[in-house]
Amino acid sequence: MQNIVLCPGLPRSGTTSLSRLIANDVYKEPQYLFGLYNFDSCYPELYPEEVIDTHVKFILNENRTILNLDTPYSFNDYSKYISENKYDFSQTTWLLTEQQLIEIKNSLSQFNIKIILMFREPVSRLWSYCNMICEDWNTANSPKQLFDEYITKCDIYVDIFNKFNNVFDDVLCLSTENFFGSQEECNKLTDFLEIDRIMMINRVSNDYDYNEFDQNELQKYQGLLKKSCDFHKNL
């Protein structure tokens, strides 16, 4: 049975660096599974509609031509695509519901599906994500305004892990901070993927720093994301 790999990391978690490390010749984000479910997000409050309309749908339409994928979207087309490419790093896959993941598993039963979940320190990831949204989509809000809005809704690491772990048999969780630069962590990944071992690269970071938060603010934010912070620390 052929192995295929889905890596549905949250934005700003390091999945782009990961894709360059293990699958640099593969188109990173076909976004096809999210399109197959008509962009139906189980976290609509965390993925703004303008991002889906101007980014995700645009990429998917562009990808249909590049990847020779037709509409209406179908598991048959996706099966052909993933059979040839083996990897799918589409970030939007994490937005799907557990029931949708079950349907994906059943519809791709000819494959052995491996899941890689990459989790970055939650406060750092969210701050980077809010800065990216403001830079790329020119929202009316400042990064800090978005951050304060999203942080009450973003304690979701455990929920994301549980829904993938409940459905799929092969799930590997990685800490972004622990993974990059660690040959031991890289070896664990390649063993999981059943591929030849490769040399770890030191990730070149373009992340946004959150040093503007004083210690009291940082503790407050970590408290609002307590389940996610505790989960990340144990990876």
Sign of torsion over alpha carbons 205, 211, 216, 221 = negative
Q: Over 90: is that where the pLDDT of 234 sits?
A: yes
Tell me which of 69 and 87 has the higher pLDDT.
87
Between 31 and 87, name the one with better pLDDT: 87
CA 155 – CA 124 distance, rounded (Å): 13
Percent of the chain scoring above 70 in pLDDT: 79
pLDDT in tens, 154-188: 999 999 999 999 999 999 999 999 998 899 999 99
**Per-residue pLDDT, 132:** 85
Q: What is the pLDDT of residues 96-114, one digit of tens each?
A: 999 999 999 999 999 999 9
C-beta of residue 94 within 8 angstroms of C-beta of residue 9: yes
Q: What's the pLDDT at 229?
A: 97
Q: Which tops the pLDDT comparison, 135 or 68?
A: 135
pLDDT value of residue 185 = 92
φ, ψ for residue 68 (rounded to 5)?
Answer: 60, 45
pLDDT at 27: 77
Give the separation between CA 215 and CA 218, rounded to whole angstroms: 5
- Per cent of the chain over pLDDT 90 is 52
DSSP 114-167: EEEEEE--HHHHHHHHHHHHHHHH--SS-HHHHHHHHTTT---HHHHHHHHHHH
The domain spans of the chain are 2-120+159-206
Mean predicted lDDT score pLDDT of the chain: 86
